[in-house]
Amino acid sequence: MAGFPIKYATRIKTLPPYLFAAIDEMKQKAIARGVDIINLGIGDPDLPTPKPIIDALSRAAADPKNHQYPSYEGMLSFRKAVADWYRRRFNVTLDPASEVLTLIGSKEGIGHIPLAFVDRGDVVLVPSPGYPVYPVATSFAGGKAHLMPLTKKTGFLPDLKAIPARVAKKARLMFLNSPNNPTSVVMSKDYFQQAIAFAQKYKIIVCHDAAYSEIFYDGRRPASFLEVEGAKEVGIEFHSLSKTYNMTGWRIGFAVGNKQVLNGLLKIKSNLDSGCFQAVQEAGIAALQLDESVTDGLRKIYQERRDVLVPGLKQLGLEVDAPPAAFYVWVKVPKGYKSASFTAHLLEKAGIVTTPGNGFGAPGEGYVRMTVCTTKERLAEAVERIKKAGW
């Protein structure tokens, strides 16, 4: 029987390749050639999930009560653990029943939120360079992403005053991200106040992505958007256990804040997917109740790694600042290179995988992103390889 041509939907045909999938393909080709790869590309913690979390999962997975469909909004016990953690960490009060929503990783919530509030032709304000899901989710909902450029001139913060009033009036959502991926810049409470005032003026829902809030250095803790007065009236905050507790593969996160916004997200979620496996939620409770010494230990390891990579790159003459948070290092490419060509050069000549800055949006051109998700020894070796490869 003859087949027929498979026609993709327009939204698929216009979709750029998912950045990290493309990088993984490039890495696999190099490995096939026998190259000893140092992967500084994808931000995936290389350290194991803490044992108490694994033990909690093992116990819960054996309990038959967790083998059925979970609730869409998540177990109340997990949402209470989230609220307790927010009170301890940020001094923010949340109602577990109405102001906390469990997610299958924060990416799920970020990807679905435009479907709840964006109609065709509506505008979504998106930081660029930024997490690729922000503009893609906007496009899937029929909206138009208006890029807020993050440049050295603006301190890699969105310049809210530069957004034309005609654009702001059509905007339904604004994504913010602190600590930022890929630049690692942290927003102050003063900046959040400005964003809240801007959102109130134009009736824009703020969606703050705080996935990296617990990876910080020199004892300088990033603030939560919800710590600032008025935040809960205009938006929500996405969070994830992935980076904080080395649980990227576990797929558990949450959104907190404005109950009406969360209810809209829940309506989409309940129609498109299911709830998070209850045994994973039990493990999430164990994670959120861990002593601070566990995350202190993780931060110490990342800071030691940062303090190997950044000085090493500076000694080579590369322009780079020590990140205050997250595990990304935002490196300006040498003269004569663009983001993609420098990425290719590092892979071909040094066996090092990095992420081209323009893959996070056009304003990221001229930079590459490196991670510290490998050992100090491999980071030191990476510096030596770059030195030998030159440019």
pLDDT in tens, 272-317: 999 999 999 999 999 999 999 999 999 999 999 999 999 999 999 9
Give me the phi and psi of 123, to 5 degrees please: -105, 140
E strand map for the chain: 38-39, 100-103, 123-128, 144-149, 171-177, 205-209, 235-240, 253-257, 319-320, 328-332, 352-353, 355-356, 367-371
Residue 288 CB burial class (10 angstroms; 0-12, 13-18, ≥19): buried
Q: In the chain, which residues have pLDDT < 50?
A: none
The pLDDT of residue 28 is: 86
CATH of 51-288, one of 1.10.645.10, 3.30.465.10, 2.60.120.10, 3.40.640.10: 3.40.640.10
The pLDDT of residue 12 is: 82
Which CATH class, in words, describes the domain spanning 10-48+293-389?
A: alpha beta
72: Cβ contacts below 8 Å, ≥ 6 apart:
266, 269, 270, 274, 275
Q: ∠ CA 138-141-147 to the nearest 5 degrees?
A: 20
Q: Where in the chain is the domain with CATH 3.90.1150.10?
A: 10-48+293-389
Residue 150 CB neighbour total at 10 angstroms: 26
Is residue 71 a contact partner of residue 104, using CB atoms and an 8 Å limit? no
Quote the CA–CA distance of 145 and 161 in Å, as a whole number. 17
Q: Which two tokens mark 256?
A: 């907190």
* Global confidence as pTM: 0.95
Q: Where in the chain is the domain with CATH 3.40.640.10?
A: 51-288
- Whose tokens are 């990476």? That residue is 382
